[in-house]
Amino acid sequence: MTRTARSGRRLAAIAATVAVLATAACSAPVQNKGDDSAAGGATSMLIAADNGSPTFDRNFNPYSSGKRNTTTYMYEPLVIINEMSGEETPWLATGYEQPDAKTVVFTIRDGVKWSDGEPLTAEDVKYSFDLVKKHPEMDLKGAWSHLKSVEVDGKTVVAHLQDEDVPAAKILAQQLIVPEHIWSEVKDPVTFTNEEPVGSGPYTLDEFTPNQYTLTKNETYWQADKVAVEELVQPAANSELDIVNNGYDWAYAFMSDVDDTWVKADPENNTYWFPAGAAISLIPNMTKAPYDNVDFREGIALALDKQVIADKAEQGYVDRASQTGLMLPNQEAILDTSIPNQGYVDQDTDAALASFEKAGYTKKGEKLVDSSGKPLKITITTPNGWSDWLQGVEQVKSQLTAIGIDVTVVQPQAAAYQKELRTGDFDMIMGTVGGTGQPFQDYNGLMGSEFRLDIGKTASGNFGRFESAEADDLLAELKVTTDEAKQLEITHQLEQITYEQLPMIALFYGGSWGLFSNKNFTGWPSADDPYASPKTWDSTPLLILTHLKPAQG
């Protein structure tokens, strides 16, 4: 799937140092844009949206986990959801309605053409849903865990749901649509690599080599007038060092000392925006003592100075996270203002000790001990090689040690970590919480009893095995309510529960590492105009690509 900042950092770390050195001096003909691209005149854009490993496979199947990141610049969804705020932008659908909690009706946009000239119809939409029903391994958005059937009614597509399931609309809306006239000819769509993609999006595939490919503007695009960039150039090698030295226009990468590296490379034009993503949290195993004790969890939360942890882990690029589970400030609109201090839990050693005492741990000398005098020992699991998390955990360890807890940090390899997370094989484990911008999704994944499985069984949510009848009732209600005011009210209550019951201990926000250059194009998302996440995969880049303007030179 998508190459991530962190894995990029880890795996490409080696190539990284090398590459900067390399590219600064040597004349690797990666660039298509040399000195001719004086400010304002360029129509081509160099992006680091996709990483070769080390070269590119030609896979543009939008339903494949191994697809090229830019596949989503060619295939579009019905609605684009900005996961930072939950804001929706109608796309291939002009909108959708929920006449009742079991039905979603999408109105399909008129005048949209596939890049081969054929019109995009409601039939294509139905076909795309049915295709992933037939091949569940292609159902990357999970549409059919909600859907019962899909039918076409003129220009609309009616989705019948399995149950009363209001939040499902947002999941269905993100389904990528493919042309039936092409895909119905494909023998095995699962292993189809779609080397000559025909899509509806703003770009089509131009040249492809294993080391670099280019996308050119789709002149028949339904909002072609909004697309200012004529060509996207995507090299396979784009380590952090390449990015700094090669004059990229848009890159997604964690950049050490960004002011001293990326910005310094072109102080006039280079900017960055690292908005908050899902909260990186400590997930306690709530089937075990003492982690099942809310006082104990509160003690841990109070014992930590989360801003210091955030600074150590992410070099001061992100802030501590709110214990409500929301991504602030982007989700401020749905924050319950009655929660003190926006849900930020400040470090308070005395209060922490008081909480630990309620949980049965008292201070004896330098150590916290239980009633039998045994010192408190906890183990924190974090994946090996995710260096920023490790730095955060090391800080957690030193802060908890200071209050008198023996902390052991274990670092299994990523896959083993994932297995331990899912099967509940941990005391406390690092994990991401929330982040879809959809309250039902986020809180259900955090606390929903539907995901709570016995220890040893592979869960796909609620990894801490949190149990709360109150939360379950609220989630069930949120699932069937179409009334927006009611939705907000329930969301507030879920925030309260998260804040008070601590199903996780929120530490800091995972960042989205957007690096932009204003040299050739302007209109990038920013803190002042947070219309999209800076990420380069999934559908939100379409918002950016239709938002950019040529720079005034």
Partner 1 sequence: MADTTADPTTTATPAIADPESARGAESVNGPRRPARTRLGRTGQVLGRAFATVWANPKARVGLVILGMFVLMAIFAPLLAPYSPHDDSFGRNEPGSAAHWLGTTGAGEDVLSQVIYGARVSLLVGFVAGGLSTVVAVVIGLSWGYLRGWGNDVVNFLVNLFLVMPGLPLMIIIAAYLQNGGLPMIILVVVITGWAWGARVLRSQTQSLRSRDFVTAAIFSGESSARVVFREILPNMTSMIAGSFFGAATSAVLAESGLSFLGLGDMATVSWGSMIFWAQNSMAILTGQWILLFAPGLCIALLATSMTLVNFGVDGLSNPRLREGTGR
Partner 2 sequence: MRYALRKLGLLVLTLWAAVTLNFVIPRLMPGSPADAAIAKLAQNGPVTPSVQAAIEAQLGVPGGSIWDQYVTYLNNVIHLDFGVSYTFFPQQVSELVAGALPWTLIMVGAVTVIAFVLGTLIGIGAAWKRGTWMDSLPTVAGSFLSAFPYFWTALLIVFFLGYVLGWFPTSGAYSATAVPNLSWEFLGDVLYHAALPAITILITSLGGWILGMRNTMINTLGDDYVTFAEANGLRGRTVAIRYAARNAILPNLTGFGMALGGVVGGSLLVEQVFAYPGVGYLLFNAVTNQDFPLMQALFLMITVSVLLANFLVEILYGVLDPRTRR
Beta strands in 290-405 (DSSP E): 362-364, 367-369, 377-381
Q: Answer yes or no whether residue 432 interacts with partner 2 by CB under 8 A.
A: yes
Name residue 152's beta-bridge partners.
157
Min dist. Cβ of residue 26 to partner 1 (A): 15
Q: Answer yes or no whether residue 228 interacts with partner 2 by CB under 8 A.
A: no
Q: Answer yes or no whether residue 30 interacts with partner 2 by CB under 8 A.
A: yes
* Comparison of 10 and 113: residue with beta carbon closer to partner 1: 10
Residue choice 381, 441, 498, 520 for contact with partner 2 (CB under 8 A): 441
Q: Answer yes or no whether residue 101 interacts with partner 2 by CB under 8 A.
A: no
Give the number of other Cβ atoms within 10 Å of residue 286's Cβ: 24
Stretch in the footprint of partner 2 (CB under 8 A) among 195-203, 217-225, 233-241, 293-301? 233-241
* Comparison of 24 and 224: residue with beta carbon closer to partner 2: 24
Scan residues 378-407 and list those touching partner 2 (CB under 8 A).
383, 386
CA distances 375 to 244, 371, 405, 438, Å, are: 49, 10, 7, 41
Both structure tokens of 131: 């295709």
Stretch in the footprint of partner 2 (CB under 8 A) among 61-69, 105-113, 469-477, 485-493? 61-69
Q: Answer yes or no whether residue 18 interacts with partner 2 by CB under 8 A.
A: yes
Min dist. Cβ of residue 416 to partner 2 (A): 4
Binding site for partner 1 (CB under 8 A): 9-10, 13-14, 16-17, 20-21, 240-241, 244, 255-257, 260-261, 312, 315, 384-385, 387, 390-391, 394, 409-413, 415-416
Min dist. Cβ of residue 237 to partner 1 (A): 15
SS3 call for 527: coil
Q: Are 431 and 281 in contact (CB under 8 A)?
A: yes
Both structure tokens of 384: 């090996």
Q: Answer yes or no whether residue 36 interacts with partner 2 by CB under 8 A.
A: no
Q: How would DSSP label each residue in 353-373? A: HHHHHHTT-EEETTEEE-TTS
Residue choice 141, 306, 452, 465 for contact with partner 2 (CB under 8 A): 141
Q: Are 42 and 250 in contact (CB under 8 A)?
A: no
Scan residues 461-520 and list those touching partner 2 (CB under 8 A).
461, 510
Min dist. Cβ of residue 450 to partner 2 (A): 9
Euclidean distance between CA atoms 344 and 346, whole angstroms: 6
Cα Rg of the chain (Å, integer): 24
Q: Answer yes or no whether residue 256 interacts with partner 2 by CB under 8 A.
A: no
Spell out the alpha helix ranges (H) of 83-230.
122-134, 168-172, 180-183
Min dist. Cβ of residue 466 to partner 2 (A): 15
Min dist. Cβ of residue 61 to partner 1 (A): 30
Q: Which does 434 bind (CB under 5 to 8 A by kind): partner 1, partner 2, none?
A: partner 2
Q: Which does 290 bind (CB under 5 to 8 A by kind): partner 2, partner 1, none?
A: none
Q: Answer yes or no whether residue 72 interacts with partner 2 by CB under 8 A.
A: no
Question: Amino acid identity of 257?
Answer: D
Q: Inter-axis angle of helices 349-358 and 387-403, to 10 degrees?
A: 80
Q: Which DSSP letter does residue 475 get?
A: H
* Comparison of 18 and 543: residue with beta carbon closer to partner 1: 18
Three-state SS string over 15-84 comes to HHHHHHHHHHHCCCCCCCCCCCCCCCCCCEEEEECCCCCCCCCCCCCCCCCCCCHHHHHCCCECEEEECC
Q: Which does 453 bind (CB under 5 to 8 A by kind): partner 2, partner 1, none?
A: none
How buried is residue 185: exposed, middle or buried, by Cβ count under 10 Å (0-12/13-18/19+)? exposed
Min dist. Cβ of residue 155 to partner 2 (A): 28
Min dist. Cβ of residue 402 to partner 2 (A): 29
Scan residues 530-549 and list those touching partner 2 (CB under 8 A).
535, 537
Q: Answer yes or no whether residue 162 interacts with partner 2 by CB under 8 A.
A: no
Q: Answer yes or no whether residue 25 interacts with partner 2 by CB under 8 A.
A: yes
